[in-house]
């Protein structure tokens, strides 16, 4: 068991607020420790809510190359729609809270809160944009 019982209880309470089912597409590299850990972590999370399902694959996610996939990759989906959210590696420690918050927010159909200047900039965006967000305490 990766999640202590008090963490499981908190996660279960958070996931009780899900309104739409969320699917996590989990891309694993067989034999890699991070893949085994991610498999176990998603199994534990999935067991805490009937609205979370996990689909496992050993293929490479669309838009990535095998070289970019250094470990397990998790994608968050609502129905057949990819949310554009992809986690590389193990979201543990400080990354775990935002992972659970992400599941709740996408389930509610919430859009990120963006300021007027950012929304205006996005309206004028004409070329594809590759955006990466890193969660770290430093």
Residue with tokens 């420690």: 93
User: For 94-138, what is each residue's pLDDT tens digit?
Assistant: 889 989 999 999 999 876 677 889 888 888 989 988 887 776 666
Model pTM score: 0.82
In angstroms, rounded to a whole number, what is the distance separating the alpha carbons of residues 55 and 116? 37
Domains of the chain, each with CATH number or no CATH: 5-123 (3.40.30.80)
Q: Scanning the structure block, which residue is given the tokens 């999640």? A: 3
Q: Which tokens go with 29?
A: 């590299």
């Amino acid at each position: 068991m990766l999640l202590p019982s008090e963490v499981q209880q908190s996660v279960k309470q958070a996931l009780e607020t899900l309104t739409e089912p969320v699917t996590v597409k989990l891309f694993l590299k067989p034999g890699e420790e991070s893949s085994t850990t991610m498999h176990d972590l998603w199994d534990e999370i999935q067991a805490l809510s009937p609205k979370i399902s996990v689909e496992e694959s050993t293929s490479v996610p669309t838009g990535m190359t095998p070289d970019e996939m250094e470990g397990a990759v998790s994608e968050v989906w609502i129905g057949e729609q990819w949310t554009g959210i992809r986690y590389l590696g193990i979201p543990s420690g400080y990354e775990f809270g935002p992972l659970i918050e992400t599941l709740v927010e996408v389930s509610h159909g919430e859009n990120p809160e963006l300021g007027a200047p950012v929304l205006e900039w996005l309206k004028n965006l004409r070329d594809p944009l590759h955006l990466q967000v890193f969660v770290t305490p430093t």
